[in-house]
Structure formats: C-alpha cells, structure tokens
Chains A and B, each alone.
Chain A
C-alpha cells in the first residue's frame, strides 16, 4: 500500500542536541510538507518542497532545517536553536497541481520530547 512513513513514532532528546525526523513516501508525490502541531493550535507549516533539491520556509521555519535530495524523502532536523521543540510533528505530501486544492496525505507523526 502506498503511504507516508514517519519514524520514529516517539523521540526523546536532551536540550541542546540536534535531532532528525524521517519522512518517506511511496505515493510518487512531488510536494512534501512538515507541520508542527501543538494542543489547541491546529497545524503550523514549517517547511515545504515542491520538487527535489528545492524547498521553501513556512510560517515557523526558525530553528528547523530540511533537505530534499530524493523525491521520496524529506527529513526534518530540529536544531538546538529551536526554542520550544517539544511537539507533535506531521509530514504530508500532495500531487503537484496547478490549483491549490489537492488534498494532503499525512503520515502518523513523530512525537518529540526535549528535556
């Protein structure tokens, strides 16, 4: 079955350490996205990528970095510069479309806890 795989499901890190969250898709989608979810806040966009080797900042990119070396993969690094990294992180993908109404397909998320 096609889908998006995020790993690990739970991640614990000490403050000051960088950590990388994995996101892999086999849907052959061109576009991929990272969202951060906090209780009662909805989803906020961190980064997105429409094509390999290209990506754009979302609303809350500070303290995060991404790469898009392969179509299937869009890893997110949470750096020590991110002031409040504890959150639920969701990766998504979509067909690249000429109109902004293609639905997003989501992974099951990674819950990051930094102490």
Chain B
C-alpha cells in the first residue's frame, strides 16, 4: 500500500530565506510523486512531478524537489522565499499498484503544509 506523510503541518520563514517542506512516502512500487500548491479558496496547481527520470526535479516559481529512494523522501525546496509563496503545499504519491489503468483515482494526498512568509 502507498502512503505519504508531510512532516510539518505549518512552516514559517522570513522573506528571502530558504524554504524546506518535508515529505516522506511509502510505496511498494516505483512511485510517481507530485507537489501541488493551493492558495486560499483556490484549486490546486501542479508545482512539479517526479516520474523516475532525473532525481532532482525543477518546478515552477523556483521550486525544486529531490527524490531520495534510500530515505523515501521527496522534500520541496526553494532558495529564497517570496511573499507570494505563502500558501498550502501538498505532497502526492501515485497509488502505483501495478495496475496502470490510467486512473488518477489512486492518488494519495498528504495532509498539507501551510507555508507562512514573514516580511
């Protein structure tokens, strides 16, 4: 079975300092992993995805994530936070059980990490 754990429910940083949002996953198969961002009262927007190509994945808005199989982690980072980065971030793992039926119904969402950015 697949699972995903976001280790911090809330992270607060100062503008211009680095961002680290932590995500650990559990999967019996080679997983696909995603990070989504959600601004208040909005839908989710894809930041980046890992699908077994390069382990360091670059996304939009200067974010990147590194897939570390030995640590079962997929942490999201950004070198310098901007006020507009304040939002909730979700780590998502595909429920890859070997049945590639084409459905995203097997996606498993973490509970989210709320990022606050102080001026």
The B interface is mostly helix, strand or loop, or mixed, namely: loop
Q: Which of B46, B103, B111 contacts A103 (CB 8 A)?
A: B46
Given contacts A41-B111, A100-B94, contact A90 B43 (CB under 8 A): yes
B44 at the interface (CB under 8 A from A): yes
Structural contact, A96 and B102, CB atoms closer than 8 A: yes
Structural contact, B103 and A40, CB atoms closer than 8 A: no
Interface residues of A in 29-62 (CB under 8 A from B): 31, 33, 40-45, 48, 50, 56, 58
Structural contact, A48 and B43, CB atoms closer than 8 A: no
Q: How large is the interface on A (under 10, 10 to 19, 20 to 34, 35 or more residues)?
A: 20 to 34
The number of chain B residues with a CB under 8 A from chain A is 28
Contacting residues, chain A, for B96 (C-beta < 8 A)? 100
Structural contact, B102 and A50, CB atoms closer than 8 A: yes
Specify which of B43, B49, B100, B110 lies most central, judged by the most chain A CB atoms within 10 Å of its CB: B43
Q: Which of B41, B90, B95 contacts A100 (CB 8 A)?
A: B95
Contacting residues, chain A, for B103 (C-beta < 8 A)? 31, 48, 50, 56, 100
B9 at the interface (CB under 8 A from A): yes
Given contacts A42-B112, A50-B103, contact A106 B95 (CB under 8 A): no
A111 at the interface (CB under 8 A from B): yes
Q: Which of B32, B36, B41, B42 contacts A101 (CB 8 A)?
A: B32
The residues of B with any CB-CB pair to A shorter than 8 Å are 9, 32, 34, 36, 41-46, 49, 51, 90, 94-96, 100-107, 109-112
